[in-house]
Amino acid sequence: MTTFDKREQGFEAKFVHDEELMFRATARSNKLLGLWAASRLGLNGDAADNYATTLVTDHLEDRTMDEVLDKVSGDLAGAGVAREQVAQQLQQCLHQALAQLEADRQ
């Protein structure tokens, strides 16, 4: 195996790791956002967990952040929560999810 081959394998391994990390962070942040939104909707217990889990599992592979934002914003529109507030909360949830995953790794 040449140095080039080893280097290529290293880049491929890093790419796979980064993609897996982003997938896990996105799923976790969607769960956190779902729990936050559920509390704004007056849901608690199993109903809150079900809302958050549905946000994670529906279209798991192909849902974008914009689609998640649209879904939650639409659900919270009646509760008087602005889309910008949901977007800000989504960013906070993503940062929190990345911090949790980093802590889990150590």
Neighbours of 76 (CB within 10 A): 19
For residues 8-45, one letter each, b for 16 or more C-beta atoms within 10 angstroms of the residue's C-beta and e for the rest, the string is eeeeeeeeeeeeeeeeebbebbbbbbbbbbbebbebee
Task: Name the amino acid, one letter, at 85.
Answer: Q
Residue 71 has pLDDT above 80, yes or no: yes
Condensed to tens digits (0 to 9), the pLDDT of residues 13-70 reads 888 888 898 889 999 999 999 999 999 999 999 999 999 999 998 867 677 889 999 9
H-run or E-run covering 22: helix 3-40
In the chain, where are the structural domains located? 3-105
Condensed to tens digits (0 to 9), the pLDDT of residues 2-21 reads 887 788 888 888 888 888 98
CA gyration radius for the chain? 17
Whole-number Å distance between alpha carbons of 72 and 18: 26
Domain 3-105, what architecture? Answer: Orthogonal Bundle (1.10)
